[in-house]
Structure 1
Amino acid sequence: MLVNRNLLRFRIERKRKAMYKKAKIFGYTHPFVVACSQELDVLINSYHKMAS
């Protein structure tokens, strides 16, 4: 279980960095950035469900 949480945290950080990179290039409201943000939301929600 701990391995899964650590892997999920790693994926969250990687997705967050990717989102910020895209936002720097395209701006925060670009569809690429919005899609990345939504994917990040799914990962974060999964992490919180695991923690509960």
Structure 2
Amino acid sequence: MRRVIYLACCVCVSVCIVVPTTFATEFSVRWRWSLLSASPLLSFLRIRIGI
């Protein structure tokens, strides 16, 4: 019984560590990609509009 509790605690701790780091890295990568993809689009629109 003690082993099961220990295992559950280990799983919880690993999930608590892994999930936020994975989410943070994925979020930063997505944010960078959206920024990179938006920048040429914005410059293209500015050229087309004439700003």
Q: TM-score, normalised by structure 2?
A: 0.49
| Max Rg structure | 2
The structure whose residues are more often helix, as a share, is 2
Larger RCO, structures 1/2 (Cα 8 Å, 6+ apart): 1
